[in-house]
């Protein structure tokens, strides 16, 4: 079986994070640990190719916990970002992480 492409890995990781419950501080702590593991698994080149919004999504879990409107907006935007990835070999884009 072939290894997943980076885009497939990214899609899977973000969908897994998005599916995690986030309704209280205990779940927030677990969500952040999982997000940190994901971030630490990235090479610098992979991190640089991730859309800027994803970094906001990873960092804004506490806001999503407190603000349902913000949560809905970020969830919608995440689905748009995920829909923009294509299967196949990873093609690094311009550096986007700030």
Q: If pLDDT is split at 50, 70 and 90, which confidence band does 1 have? A: low
Q: Is residue 61 part of a domain?
A: yes
Q: What is the pLDDT of residue 21?
A: 95
For residue 63, being part of any structural domain is answered with yes
> In the predicted model, is pLDDT for residue 48 greater than 50?
yes
* pTM confidence score: 0.81
On whether residue 12 sits in a domain, the answer given is no
Contact, 18 vs 59, CB < 8 A?
no
71 is a domain residue: yes
CA atoms within 13 A on the CB side of 77: 15
Residue 63 and residue 57: Cα distance in Å, rounded?
A: 10
Domain presence at residue 54: yes
What is the reported pLDDT for 93?
46
Number of domains in the chain: 1
In a domain, 47, yes or no: yes
Q: In this structure, is residue 13 part of a structural domain?
A: no
Supply the range of the domain harboring residue 43. 22-83
């Amino acid at each position: 079986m072939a290894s997943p492409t980076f885009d497939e890995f990214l899609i899977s990781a973000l969908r897994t994070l998005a599916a995690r419950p986030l309704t209280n501080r205990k779940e927030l702590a677990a969500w952040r640990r999982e997000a940190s593991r994901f971030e630490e698994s990235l090479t610098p080149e992979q991190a640089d190719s991730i859309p800027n919004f994803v970094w906001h999504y990873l960092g804004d879990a506490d806001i999503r916990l407190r603000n349902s409107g913000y949560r809905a907006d970020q969830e919608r935007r995440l689905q748009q970002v995920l829909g923009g990835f294509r299967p196949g070999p990873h093609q690094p884009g311009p550096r986007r992480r700030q």
